[in-house]
Amino acid sequence: MFSPDQALNSSSPSGEEVLQIQGGYPLSGEVRVSGAKNSALVVMAGALLCPDDCRIRNVPNLMDVMRMGQVLSALGVKLTRHGDMLDVDARHIGHSTAPYELVSQLRASFFIIGPLLARMGMARVPLPGGCAIGARPVDLHVRGLESMGAHVQIDQGTVYASIPGSRRLRGARIYLDYPSVGATETLMMAATLAEGETVLDNAAQEPEVVDLANFCRAMGARIRGAGSKTIVISGVPRMHSVDYSIIPDRIEVGTFLVAGAIARSEISITPVITDHVAAVIAKLQAIGADIVQESPNRLRIVPADIHQATDIETLPYPGFPTDMQAQFTALLALSEGHSVITETVFENRLRHVAELQRMGANIRVKGNNAIIQGVPFLTGVPVNATDLRASAALVLAGLSAKGTTTLHGLHHLDRGYDNLEGKLRKLGARIERVTDELGEAFPTPEPASPSR
Ligand SMILES: CC(=O)N[C@H]1[C@@H](OP(=O)(O)OP(=O)(O)OC[C@H]2O[C@@H](n3ccc(=O)[nH]c3=O)[C@H](O)[C@@H]2O)O[C@H](CO)[C@@H](O)[C@@H]1O
Ligand SMILES: C=C(OP(=O)(O)O)C(=O)O
């Protein structure tokens, strides 16, 4: 299941798979959301802390999850998957070096540095590198580990971390210059096995950070304050076995809410933790859609006849999520009036705009702003996914477009959505994955990492 050789060459340029979406068909019914990608990946990294049986439930079926499995396998960890349940046996970790070929394909794999260091006393993890949406440095992870007594050196693109003269990190008070999700998670995991107390100030408050804290607590970690700006971790000497279920993916929930709005269709979405999508709901209400809480974990979107423009600024949680920005760009491109989207989290996350323009959207990019003048309709054309959420945005645009949209670059979509097209098809969308024999001629291959 997690052989390190698998999926390294998952995108083949010739005879490339594409999605064909015939726009204009209404959606109806209910869709089931999978477990959260960003929880599953970091919880898999956190499983390295567990010297006992570790069972993770509600794990989504994603290329990123498979790649994270390969990273753990390369360290000597045993993994067995049964449906959406994953058993991780990290009793014996044979290596403390993660292979570059895998880490370079999956940014989240860098997050193993914290648990690996805490458990093994050393970790060698290649820098994951930048990606299509930004440079994404790891300086906050590194500085935090150093504050906890680690010796960290970066040599020829690899981070070498060790604990001089001791097997345990030391608790420390760490202020994060920015509430980075990954740095908060790395340091929280590292601190669970440290000596003494660690205080993370200006920590990320994302639900996936809370999910990771709950997972660690279920194996015996002492963590309080996760979900607030200050997290306090009291180190324990050892973790124990755990059986844990991942939260629903709030970005998948948001993507389906936008699907209902853009296709002018009422659909129900479950399971949902409504608090996790509060900012997304507020923006859908601002454009005129109604969101009905049908039951404690089910939402229904009731679109308006005409959607109105609104402005959006992406921010760390509980602000509007950057991972929903591209999907709302597509929706606002079809909403009446003038909207401005400001991307503050990543410096290069508006590349989907050029593809939406090709479909007829009236959007101008100025710095980190997308200035949108709504148009009455988009037209289906061949488009290229530039990153994961861009691919979702283009699928959504295709649902409402006149004619057929052909989406290239599906490796982006597959890394983070569990069967998006199957779920949309069940709701009534006309969407098919086909092999495009002209794949070599279009689109232009990306120069950077194939995974993002
Ligand atoms: C696997 C995973 O969970 N991915 C999510 C995680 O990414 P990730 O954890 O990488 O995102 P961060 O919160 O760390 O990044 C936010 C910003 O901080 C910067 N930064 C981060 C770390 C650091 O050491 N130095 C630094 O400057 C980044 O370049 C970026 O501009 O949170 C992002 C922000 O919600 C989401 O878009 C990603 O889907
Ligand atoms: C940016 C994302 O993921 P990653 O951090 O894995 O690149 C995302 O999920 O939209």
Domains delineated in the chain: 16-34+248-436 (3.65.10.10), 37-245 (3.65.10.10)
Q: How far is the CA of 125 from the centre of ligand 1 (A)?
A: 17
Q: How far is the CA of 180 from the centre of ligand 1 (A)?
A: 5
- Ligand 1: atom nearest CA of 138 is 24
Atom 4 of ligand 1: nearest residue by CA position: 38
- Ligand 2: atom nearest CA of 452 is 7
- Structure confidence at residue 116 (pLDDT): 97
Helix (H) or strand (E) holding 380: none
Is the shortest distance between the CB of 382 and ligand 1 below 6 Å? no
Give, in order, the Cα–Cα distances in Å from 402 to each of 2, 23, 363, 379.
41, 6, 18, 5
pTM reported for the whole predicted model: 0.94
- Structure confidence at residue 181 (pLDDT): 98
Is the shortest distance between the CB of 38 and ligand 1 below 6 Å? yes
How far is it, in rounded angstroms, from Cα 44 to Cα 255? 24
Measuring CA to CA, which residue among 181, 192, 177 is closest to residue 143? 177
Identified catalytic residue from 50, 54, 131, 216: 131
Q: One-letter amino acid identity for 399?
A: L
List pocket residues of ligand 2, CB cut-off 6 Å.
107-108, 133, 323, 388-389, 416, 452
Is the shortest distance between the CB of 139 and ligand 1 below 6 Å? yes
Q: One-letter amino acid identity for 365?
A: V
- Structure confidence at residue 129 (pLDDT): 73
Residue 54 appears among annotated catalytic residues: no
- Structure confidence at residue 132 (pLDDT): 86
Measuring CA to CA, which residue among 285, 185, 275 is closest to residue 233? 185
For residue 170, give the DSSP letter.
B
3-state secondary structure 260-290: HHHCCCCEEEECCCHHHHHHHHHHHHHCCCE
Residue whose pair of structure tokens reads 């930048």 in the numeric block: 130
3-state secondary structure 299-334: EEEECCCCCECCCEEECCCCCECHHHHHHHHHHHHC
Measuring CA to CA, which residue among 434, 432, 437 is closest to residue 422? 432
Atom 39 of ligand 1: nearest residue by CA position: 323
Taken in order 66, 250, 139, 390, the sign of the CA dihedral is: positive
| Token pair in block for residue 220 | 């015996």
Is the shortest distance between the CB of 250 and ligand 1 below 6 Å? no
Atom 28 of ligand 1: nearest residue by CA position: 136
Atom 8 of ligand 1: nearest residue by CA position: 182
For residue 4, cis peptide bond before it (omega within 30 degrees of 0):
no
If one residue of 38, 44, 102, 141 were mutated to test the ligand 2 pocket, choosing by the most ligand atoms within 8 A of its CB, it would be 38
Ligand nearest to the backbone CA of 184: 1
If one residue of 64, 324, 345 were mutated to test the ligand 1 pocket, choosing by the most ligand atoms within 8 A of its CB, it would be 345
If one residue of 71, 110, 175, 178 were mutated to test the ligand 1 pocket, choosing by the most ligand atoms within 8 A of its CB, it would be 178
Is the shortest distance between the CB of 39 and ligand 1 below 6 Å? no
- Structure confidence at residue 166 (pLDDT): 72
Q: How far is the CA of 204 from the centre of ligand 1 (A)?
A: 10
- Structure confidence at residue 438 (pLDDT): 61
Atom 18 of ligand 1: nearest residue by CA position: 180
- Ligand 2: atom nearest CA of 416 is 9
**Per-run averaged pLDDT (10 residues), the chain, 452 residues:** 46 76 98 98 98 97 96 97 97 92 91 96 89 91 98 95 91 98 98 98 98 98 98 97 98 98 98 98 98 98 97 98 98 98 97 98 98 98 96 98 97 96 98 78 44 40
Q: How far is the CA of 136 from the centre of ligand 1 (A)?
A: 7
Measuring CA to CA, which residue among 113, 254, 248 is closest to residue 186? 113
Q: Are strands 404-408 and 16-22 parallel, antiparallel or unpaired?
A: antiparallel
- Structure confidence at residue 165 (pLDDT): 85
Atom 8 of ligand 2: nearest residue by CA position: 323
CB 131 within 8 Å of CB 107: yes
Nearest-5° Cα angle at 348, 344 to 352: 105
- Structure confidence at residue 10 (pLDDT): 40
How far is it, in rounded angstroms, from Cα 245 to Cα 416? 18
Length in residues, the chain: 452
Is the shortest distance between the CB of 178 and ligand 1 below 6 Å? yes
Q: How far is the CA of 236 from the centre of ligand 1 (A)?
A: 27
The contacts of residue 26 (CB under 8 Å, 6+ apart) are 263, 264, 265, 428
Q: How far is the CA of 259 from the centre of ligand 2 (A)?
A: 20
How far is it, in rounded angstroms, from Cα 360 to Cα 402? 10
Q: One-letter amino acid identity for 362?
A: N
